[in-house]
């Protein structure tokens, strides 16, 4: 099995995120936006119900969500990025208490992991990303882009709930091109 790669190119990432929005397929758009902006595993995304992200009493998207990670059993509070809130608002016509967020209308349950993989891979192919984009690619993209934007490795490690910095470093998928950029982008006088 190949290791999932993060989407490194910002323009390709923007195209990937916008792909299903532009097609008017808001459930699939939310799937990708959540993957990129929350660093959640696909199992945790597919476990989400509308109640986790939508306040039915106030009829609006919540500013954060509290989840218990399936793999680790740890509870975490995730503030929802403005892009996540906007995506959920586009899709909020589907909001119903107790209903899975990423709903398969035929079964009344969340879509399968395989279907999520197919949707994400298809979007990656459509926007011509040079490798097979997977749900795990979205999780890794969060860390890669966060690190590139100057976030501390230790903080990213905490977001992922990793036990060591070494695991997080492998996760970030740093390439020789990234290393070269450190040397070549440095501006010093003298």
Active site residues: 41, 71, 136, 139, 162, 171
- Whether residue 42 contacts residue 136, with contact meaning beta carbons closer than 8 Å, is answered with yes
Query: ∠11-15-18 over CA atoms, to 5°?
Result: 140
CB atoms within 10 A of CB 119: 20
CB atoms within 10 A of CB 133: 27
DSSP letter at 24 equals T
Cα radius of gyration rounded to whole Å, the chain: 17
Query: ∠8-13-16 over CA atoms, to 5°?
Result: 140
CA-wise closest residue to 15 among 25, 35, 29, 34: 29
Q: How far is CA 35 from the centre of its chain?
A: 2
Sign of CA dihedral 71, 156, 12, 53: positive
């Amino acid at each position: 099995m190949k290791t999932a790669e993060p989407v490194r190119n910002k323009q390709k990432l923007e195209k990937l995120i916008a792909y299903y929005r532009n097609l008017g397929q808001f459930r699939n758009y939310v799937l990708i936006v959540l993957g990129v902006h929350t660093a959640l595993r696909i199992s945790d995304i597919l476990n989400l119900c509308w109640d986790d992200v939508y306040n039915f009493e106030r009829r609006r998207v919540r500013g954060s969500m509290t989840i218990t990670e399936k793999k680790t059993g740890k509870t975490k509070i995730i503030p929802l990025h403005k892009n996540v809130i906007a995506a959920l608002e586009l899709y909020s016509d589907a909001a119903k208490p107790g209903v899975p967020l990423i709903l398969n209308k035929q079964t009344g349950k969340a879509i399968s992991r395989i279907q999520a993989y197919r949707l994400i891979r298809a979007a990656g192919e459509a926007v011509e990303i040079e490798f097979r984009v997977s749900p795990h690619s979205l999780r890794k993209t969060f860390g890669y882009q966060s690190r590139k934007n100057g976030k501390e490795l230790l903080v990213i490690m905490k977001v992922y709930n990793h036990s060591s910095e070494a695991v997080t470093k492998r996760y970030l998928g740093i390439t020789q091109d990234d290393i070269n950029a450190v040397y070549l982008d440095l501006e010093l006088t003298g």
